[in-house]
Amino acid sequence: MSESARVLIILILVFILMGISVIFVSGLMSRRTVQALFKLFRDAQALSPETARFAEEIGFKGRSILNFTMVRDYKPQALQLLIKENIIQVTEEGRLFLSEQTLADCQLSALDKKI
pLDDT given for residue 64 in this prediction: 56
If you average pLDDT over residues 29-53, what whole number do you get?
Answer: 89
Question: Residue 62 domain-assigned?
Answer: yes
In a domain, 90, yes or no: yes
Give the per-residue pLDDT at 107: 61
Determine, yes or no, domain membership for 88. yes
| Domains identified in the chain, total number | 1
Domain assignment present for residue 10? The answer is no
Residue among 70, 72, 64 at smallest CA distance from 26:
72
Domain hosting 72: range is 33-111
pTM for this predicted structure: 0.66
Flag the least confident range among 27-31, 38-42, 70-74, 111-115: 111-115
Residue 98 maps to a domain? yes
Within a domain: 58: yes
Does residue 86 fall inside a structural domain? yes
Instruction: Say which residue, 82 or 111, is predicted with more confidence.
Output: 82
Residue 115: the pLDDT is 38
Mean pLDDT (whole number) for 2-13: 90
Handedness of CA 40, 32, 88, 102 (dihedral sign): negative
Residue 6, pLDDT > 70, answer: yes
In percent, the amount of the chain with pLDDT more than 70 equals 82
* Mean pLDDT of the 18-25 span: 82
- What CATH code is carried by the domain that includes residue 55? 1.10.10
82 found inside a domain: yes
**Helices and strands (H and E) in the chain: how many:** 4, 2
